[in-house]
Each structure stands twice: as C-alpha cells, then as structure tokens.
Amino acid sequence: MRRQYRSYFWPMVLIVIGLIALLVDLNVISADRLYRLADLWPLILIVIGLELIIRRTAHGRAMAVATILILLIAGLGAVAYVAVGPPIPGGTQTLTTSDPVGTLSAASLDLEVGAANLTVVGDSSLGADLYRAAVTYSGPKPDVTLDRSTGALRISQQGEFGIFGSLNLNIDLHVNPSVAWSFSLNSGATSASLNLTDVQLASLEANNGAIRLDLTVGPPKGIVPIRVNGGAPNLRFHRPSGVAVSVQLSGGALNLTADGHHTSAIGSASWQSDGDAGASDAYAIEVNGGACNVTVEANVPAA
C-alpha cells in the first residue's frame, strides 16, 4: 500500500497546481492571489501526517478510500483558500518615487519581481520628471533605481515568497512620453495594463510564468518588436485603425482573434493585417507558451 500512497499524493498536487493555474488564466482568480500558495506549506505536513496514521490503522479498500478523501478535501480547500482567502496579513506600505528626465532621449523599464499588478500610463503632465511611481507592497521594500547613463529604470523585490507569509505588489507607473520607452517584464505571475497611446514604444518583452497583458499603443516608428513568453500568456493588443501589425504564435493550444477573424490551432498560427507586408512602420508580435490567447483590435482613436 505504500506504492498506492505515492501514486495518489503527487498526482493530486499536480492537479491542484494545474487547476489554480487554469482559474488564473480564465480570470476567475486574479494573478496576485497566487501569493496565497506560500501560506499552504503546513497543509502538506498535515496531509502527510494523516496519511501516515491511515497507513498504520487502515487496510485494503478502507485505506485507499480514506487516502482519496483526505487528498480531495485538502486539494479543494487549497483552491478555495487561494480564490477567496483572507487578505494578506501585516498590512501594506506605499513607496513613491520619481527622477528627472535630464538629457535622456530614451528609457527602459526592467521589472524583476515574483508577481505583480502593473499599470503603466503615458503622462504628458510629468513635465521635467522621467517617471513617477507609486508602489504598494507587503514584505521587503522594493528597489526602484535609475541608471542615468542608459536610462534603465529597474523595479525589483527580493524575497517575493516567504515560508511564514505571502506578499503583495502593485505598481502604478506614469512615464514621460517625450522619450522613447522599452519594457522588459520578468516575473512569476503578472497582470499588466499598459496605456501607451502617446508614448513611442521601442520594444516590449515579457517572460512570465503566467501573464495577462492589456497593451494599448499609438502609431509605431519603425518595426516595433513585442515578444511575450510564458506558460499561459493572455494578450489583448489595441492599436489605431490602419496601423500595420503581424502576429506569430507558437506553443500548445493557440487562440487568436485579430480584427474580428478567429483562429484556433495547435503548434503555430500567424496573421498579418492589410498593408503589413512591406510596411516600414509596424508592430511585430510574437507569443510563445503552452496555452496562448491573443486578441488584436483596431479600436484606438488615431492621433
């Protein structure tokens, strides 16, 4: 029966992780609630302890039924706790910071965190400021640094997951549209909304375990690469009518809706707008992941 115990425990762990990831992808659970998984480490010890007791007191079919019931209850409880569990204890703090534009003509954001909710807005009212950031967090204080020689703005947080608690990170970033911006988003799970209609976007790359990205852009200058890589990337891309764009998807299950045309595929899929071939100014989108959902729309008013 020891072999039977092993065959039940780890499959149930994989099922629970997969179910939670699916609920995040379907937007039933927000990505920031994944922090709650860190709170559940004692549950593993409890389940193992109960299993040891059952193996000593029950036999045959009774042992198998009890094992399944314990794992099922623990699994459903874990999903419910992540979905609707209490707010993160210990309260939150807010960090506000900014830096002047100076002589910079280009800048970049490098995000290196465990998970985050990110909002970026082009804001012409910033005046002499390159950016203004309001970071709400729990746990270790995030680092916000600007390399003035390169214009690289870096936001990071150490110790994103803790054994005795879980963390929260919300970033509200306003950027100056007088400079061109590049974005590099690297995290475990991110929900991001970028409104860059007045910003010259130079490039965007996202490497995430799970990402839900809503990206609104204005007219491009040159060929602007947008690359999204993750386990289950979900991208909604909004542009002005007439702006050329191409889309290339690769991975497992792919769903692409582009200007009202829907494509479902496995392995790879591609699409390009009218006028994209040979265009000198266009967006080139590449999305790679296990399950990709991409929507491309022309619903942004032209400048």
Backbone φ and ψ of 36, nearest 5° = -65, -20
- Is the whole-model pTM more than 0.75? no
- Report pLDDT digits (tens) over 70-105: 878 887 887 787 777 665 555 578 999 999 999 999
Domain segments of the chain as ranges: 2-84, 93-300
From the list 229, 231, 190, the residue with the least C-alpha distance to 212 is 190
Rounded CA-CA distance 192/173 in Å is: 11
Q: What is the CA radius of gyration of the chain?
A: 23
Of the candidate ranges 25-29, 104-108, 275-279, the one whose mean pLDDT is the lowest: 25-29
- Mean per-residue pLDDT, 266-284: 92
Handedness of CA 163, 115, 152, 94 (dihedral sign): negative
Q: Residue 239: pLDDT band by 50, 70, 90 thresholds?
A: very high
Measured torsion, CA atoms of residues 272, 289, 117, 107, in degrees rounded to the nearest 10: -60
153, 131 Cβ separation under 8 angstroms: yes
Asked if the model's pLDDT at residue 160 lies above 70, the reply is no
CB 182 within 8 A of CB 161: no
Pairing state of beta strands 115-122 and 169-175?
parallel
What whole-number distance in Å separates Cα of residue 239 and Cα of residue 226?
13
Q: Residues 62, 64, 65, CA angle at the centre, nearest 5°?
A: 65
What confidence tens digit (pLDDT) does each residue in 167-225 have? 578 999 999 999 999 999 998 778 999 999 999 999 999 998 788 999 999 999 999 99
Q: Is residue 159 pLDDT above 70, yes or no?
A: no
Q: What distance in Å separates the CA atoms of residue 172 and residue 159, rounded to the nearest whole number?
A: 21
Of all residues in the chain, the percent with pLDDT exceeding 90 is 53
38-59: b (≥16 Cβ within 10 Å) or e: bbbeeeeeebeebbeebbeeee
Identity of the residue numbered 221: K
